[in-house]
A and B are shown apart, each in its own frame.
Chain A
Amino acid sequence: MNTLIAATDRWYPLRRSAEAVLAPLVALIGAAVLFSIFLLFLDASPLDFLDLVWRGAFGSSFSLQNTVQRAAPLLLTALCVAIPGQLGLVIIGGEAAVVLGGLAATVAALPLINTSPIVVWAAMAVAGSAMGAFWIGISGWLKAKLNVNETIASLVLAYVGLALFNHFVEGLLRDPASLNKPSTYGIGDDNMLGTVPWFDVHPGLPVGIVACVLCWVLIYRTSVGFACRVTGGNIRAAQLQGLPVTKLILLACAIGGGCAGLAGAIQVAAEYGRANASLNAGFGYTGILIAFLARFNPLAIIPMAILLGGLGAAGGLLQRRMGLPDATIQVLQGLIFVSILASDTLYGRFRWFQPGATT
């Protein structure tokens, strides 16, 4: 019955898209209202806050650069959640893929530092993504082959990965010259990634955007992506149709992990020059938030990552001008996350968005 109506209801696809845009928007506004009340209780002005966030995140070329710099790794770590998410998997161990990817990239670069930078970068990109793909792939394999819950497995493996990272960075690979902050040997200034011509940002941003676009094409415009979405919708139906569910799970986890590992490699090559605790800065956890904000849509990740990067970039200014602690941003992020997830309940609540509602 519903399908019959849907066939004659030409505007239904549009209204469905409107619902998908409106629900998160309502949630963002709700979070903003809650946060304003929070600020008013502290005798701080929400308007000043908004003004400072705008100036600190997007107001000047310097702050804009800071924002996109922060958004770059988040684009890739969000994909680590969103791509497996298409299959209905919740992978929350991207943090380990980032740090191990960065470590593997550094290890791959060290024997090559006297060759050309292009060789070094290629080796780092390949080693970083391969390591990330392998690490998240373990969770996928455990899920597909042994039916181990991927959320818990990836979380536990995140701790194992961090322990391995610390073991190597503070032991075998440690540069004895790094006293206060244990680090590996550096890849050398000549091998650092420069900035993209015309824009004053490192290549992490374009790489992240290209990765998001490619993943969008993969998910929404290829048969493999279609198979992924079918599996995410109903795994039994996918199995009955003879879709290679095991392979799809492994593929999605490997792609997602590869992205997160690449993020680690780029952070090393563009910012730190060596693998150390800077890699363990919560990129993986913020990526989870962004992926859920984007409802696992790779293209929607781009604005969401820039939004979250901007909030992070504004933190310093808020601290200086309003005397708010740096955790303020985290409170706001938490409110946004809670409210976005709660807005999932809005879907299908309103008759107007349903098939045939206007006929």
Chain B
Amino acid sequence: MMDSVGTVLLAMLAGSLRVSTPFLFVSLGECLTEKSGRINLGNEGVLVLGAMVAYATSYETGSPWAGVLAAAVAGLLLGALHGGVCSLARVNDVAMGIAIMLAGTGIAFFFGKPYVQPSATLLPGIPVGFWSDNAQVRNALLVCPLFLLGIAAAVALHWCFNATRVGLRIRIVGDSQDAALALGLPIDRTRLLATAFGSALAGIGGAFLSLYYPGSWNEGLSSGQGLMAVALVVFSRWNPINCIYASLLFGAAGALGPSLQTVGITWGYYLFYAAPYIVTLVVLILTARGGRSLRGMPGQLSIGR
């Protein structure tokens, strides 16, 4: 009994380390965008486009890191489109995000068709579990370098929001348009850049999907990680450090079903898959009561008004 509990926990840890990276990048990107007072539901499209561009670039150049960079640039451009159109008066950023999602996945499927078959060079894993002679543990602790990069990005973003001039300006623009106007801050430009760089992060999340795990390119690659970004950011209360925990938790919850399957429990495979979504809903309900009581929520966010 204890043995199978151990197996499940180890499998969940492994699964969580393995699948949390895209969650981490899209939530960090979304966090940056939302801090500036705009919401981006288009990260799903950015994620899929990033995955395609990364895979194609890695295949053409032989360098997976060039792929990661290309994915970030693709995300930057798509995010700039979103940010640019949303700067126009009366354009609904929620609906625009859905449009970007559609356009991004469309472009990715269109240009990605020739890359479904060939196999590109993938990113190497870092063997953090070298100390153990248990093959399962070593396998579980084979960490993708992008995961470490994501954690570094979270810490950097946290520091940026709390200790730098740029971060403070983003927060002012996101929290109070009047204050930003009074200070003469460039509101539209700040939001445009925050959306573009946020999408660049989401693009890197896509590169993880195609270049590390599952490590291939096809049209069913993303299972909605990009769409979940919005929920993840609510869950982590607009705090980049919390995004790390939230991503690990979502990864672990997603790994619950398959982990139970390894010890022979097959009932409710799909229900366990829904676990992170139900947790998000509970968090939404607990934190949303009574007006703008969500601590840390940027005041100008359209979903909060």
Contact = CB atoms under 8 A, between A and B. Distances in A.
Contacts of B303: 149, 151-152
Given A167-B268, A292-B95, A344-B91, A149 B284 contact: yes
B281 interface: yes
Given A147-B290, A159-B224, A325 B109 contact: yes
A132 B211 CA distance: 39
A166 interface: yes
A156 B230 CA distance: 10
Contact of A330 (B109, B269, B289): B109
B281 A156 contact: yes
B109 A147 contact: no
Contact of B277 (A146, A156, A328): A156
A97 B234 CA distance: 24
A153 interface: yes
Nearest to B304: A149
Contact of B106 (A92, A147, A288, A334): A334
A220 interface: no
A288 B278 CA distance: 23
Contact of A342 (B85, B105, B288): B85
A338 interface: yes
Interface string A290-302: 0010000000000
A196 interface: no
A152 B110 contact: no
Interface in B70-108: 81, 85, 88-92, 94-96, 98-100, 102-108
Size range of the interface on A? Answer: 35 or more
Nearest to B93: A341
Query: Taking chain B's interface residues, is the majority helix, strand, or loop, or is none over half, making it mixed?
Result: helix
A147 B285 CA distance: 8
B271 A334 contact: no
Contacts of B59: none
Contacts, number: 138
Interface string B283-301: 0110011110000000000
A342 B88 contact: yes
Contact of B284 (A148, A160, A344): A148
Contact of B288 (A147, A163, A335): A147
A164 interface: yes
Contacts of B99: 289, 334, 337-338, 341
A155 B230 contact: yes
B189 interface: no
B273 interface: yes
Contact of A167 (B41, B45, B270, B291): B270
A211 interface: no
Contact of A337 (B98, B113, B290): B98
A159 B96 CA distance: 21
A245 interface: no
Contacts of A164: 270-271, 274
A145 B196 CA distance: 35
A338 B96 contact: yes
Contacts of A147: 288-291
A7 interface: no
Given A327-B106, A330-B105, A156 B231 contact: yes
A47 B105 CA distance: 25
B91 A341 contact: yes
A333 B102 contact: yes
Given A163-B271, A167-B271, A341-B85, A146 B288 contact: yes
Nearest to B292: A147
A11 interface: no
B227 interface: yes
Interface string A11-44: 0000000000000000000000000000000000
A224 interface: no
3 residue pairs, one from A and one from B, having the closest CB atoms: A334-B103, A330-B106, A327-B109
Interface of A: 90, 92, 142, 146-149, 151-153, 155-157, 159-160, 163-164, 166-167, 170-171, 285, 288-289, 292, 325-335, 337-338, 341-342, 344-345, 347-348
22 contacts: A90-B94, A142-B285, A147-B290, A149-B303, A159-B274, A163-B274, A166-B273, A167-B269, A170-B269, A289-B98, A325-B109, A325-B113, A326-B109, A330-B105, A334-B45, A334-B106, A334-B107, A337-B102, A337-B103, A341-B95, A342-B85, A342-B91
Interface of B: 41, 45, 81, 85, 88-92, 94-96, 98-100, 102-110, 113, 224, 227-228, 230-231, 234, 267-271, 273-274, 277-278, 280-281, 284-285, 288-291, 303-304
